[in-house]
Amino acid sequence: MRIVLLGAPGAGKGTQCKRISVRYGLLHLSSGDILRQERAAGTELGKKARGYMDSGGLVPDEVIVEMMAEAIKKASQKTGLVLDGFPRTVNQAVKLDESLTGNGQRIDVVLNLNIEQEVVSERMTGRRSCPKCGAVYHIKNLKPKVEGKCDNDGAELVQRPDDSLDVVKNRFRAYHEQTKPVVDYYKNNNTVYDIDANRVVDEVSTLVFAILDTLIEVRSDRRQ
Ligand code: AP5
Ligand code: MG
């Protein structure tokens, strides 16, 4: 199964994708996480992306499309995918569809996390991430077992530099101008499920799992 998760910055894409990936055994590919890894490793790609990310703008399509095509290609044909933060422009969505179609594949389901802007601001200012494994926490909503330390590897949790107020403003602008049209693109080509992402983490997961469980059941009925 190939899933795309759409949603504004801080809507909870990463949080829900991790849970989806564990529950259904899918590979979680986050374009933002891959870019941050490239930056940490000091690669050319990471250097190219830095300025765009730090200002809250989008990294150019050609860089992202190539990077994600490479990541998807590396994934085993047998493993399904959950895509987080990609595609983020209509052009990226078209390029993704073209490359999947070339391999006889398609996006099976699109989940769109809907959220109010005030809710999102609180989530972003309270977010803490593990620089080692990418796990995401929140100082109030999703606390680690030991304050400031990652549950998985004990690394010191950090605040993402692009969670500062002025950068967040630009990330929202990019979302409204460039990413919202992706929802309409998918509404014309796929089935899009709108999810109320204002709810607490477990409730959002329950909504997401109910949709995916039903789809998986329908697919297995069809095969029998
Ligand atoms: P990216 O890393 O993708 O950032 P984003 O889309 O802005 O989204 P976030 O990661 O900030 O939020 P999220 O929705 O994953 O929320 P999370 O689960 O962490 O991209 C960063 C940058 O890279 C971009 O600005 C751009 O420059 C570049 N880039 C990436 N992809 C690109 C592309 N395709 N094209 C071009 N450029 C690209 O949750 C947020 C917080 O809230 C956490 O603390 C979490 O614990 C908490 N939380 C989550 N859910 C809930 C809930 N239901 N209730 C309460 N708290 C919650
Ligand atoms: Mg994320």
162, part of any domain: no
pLDDT given at position 164:
86
pLDDT given at position 84:
98
Burial 95-124 (b: 16+ CB within 10 A, else e): bbbeebeeeeeebbbbbbbebeeebbbebb
**Which residues span the domain enclosing 110?**
2-116+167-223
156, part of any domain: no
Which secondary structure element, helix H or strand E, spans residue 194, and what is its range? Answer: strand 192-196
pLDDT tens digits, one per residue of 210-219? 999 999 888 8
What tokens appear for 50 in the block?
Answer: 């830095």
134: region left, alpha or beta (phi > 0 left; psi from -120 to 50 alpha): left
| Kind of pairing between the strands at 136-138 and 127-129 | antiparallel
Give the angle 33-4-163 at the CA atoms, nearest 5°.
Answer: 35
Residue 132 banded pLDDT, cuts 50, 70, 90:
confident
Selected catalytic residue, list 19, 36, 88, 123: 88
84, part of any domain: yes
Residue 166 banded pLDDT, cuts 50, 70, 90:
confident
pLDDT given at position 117:
85
| Kind of pairing between the strands at 136-138 and 192-196 | unpaired
194, part of any domain: yes
Task: Kindly state the average pLDDT of the residues 21-49.
Answer: 95
Nearest to 124 by CA among 4, 32, 42, 221: 32
If DSSP codes are grouped into helix, strand and coil, which group holds residue 132?
coil
Which carries the bigger pLDDT value, residue 88 or residue 224? 88
* Cα–Cα dist 187/18, whole Å: 24
What tokens appear for 110 in the block?
Answer: 């699109």
pLDDT given at position 184:
95
152, part of any domain: no
Residue 129 banded pLDDT, cuts 50, 70, 90:
very high
Q: What is the 14 CA–ligand 2 centroid distance (Å)?
A: 4
Atom of ligand 1 nearest to the CA of 53: 27
Task: Kindly state the average pLDDT of the residues 41-62.
Answer: 96
Contact 28, 82 (CB under 8 A): yes
pLDDT given at position 22:
95
40, part of any domain: yes
Task: Kindly state the average pLDDT of the residues 120-125.
Answer: 87
Tell me the whole-structure pTM to 2 decimals: 0.93
pLDDT at 102 over 90: no
Which carries the bigger pLDDT value, residue 206 or residue 160? 206
Residue 134 banded pLDDT, cuts 50, 70, 90:
confident
Domain count of the fold of the chain? 1
Nearest to 71 by CA among 125, 34, 39: 34
pLDDT tens digits, one per residue of 178-195? 999 999 999 998 889 999
CATH of residue 215's domain is 3.40.50.300
What tokens appear for 64 in the block?
Answer: 């992202």
Query: Ligand 1, from 68, 142, 160, 173: best to mutate by most atoms within 8 Å of Cβ?
Result: 142
Q: What is the 27 CA–ligand 2 centroid distance (Å)?
A: 15
List 4's β-bridge partners, or say none. 83, 110
160, part of any domain: no
Ligand nearest to the Cα of 174, by number: 1
Let me know if 78 is exposed, middle or buried by CB neighbors in 10 A (0-12, 13-18, 19+): exposed
Task: Kindly state the average pLDDT of the residues 17-44.
Answer: 95
Which residue ranges have their beta carbon within 6 Å of ligand 1? 7, 9-15, 31-32, 35, 52-53, 56-59, 64, 85-86, 88, 92, 123, 126-127, 136-138, 141-142, 162, 171, 199-201, 204
Task: Kindly state the average pLDDT of the residues 54-70.
Answer: 96
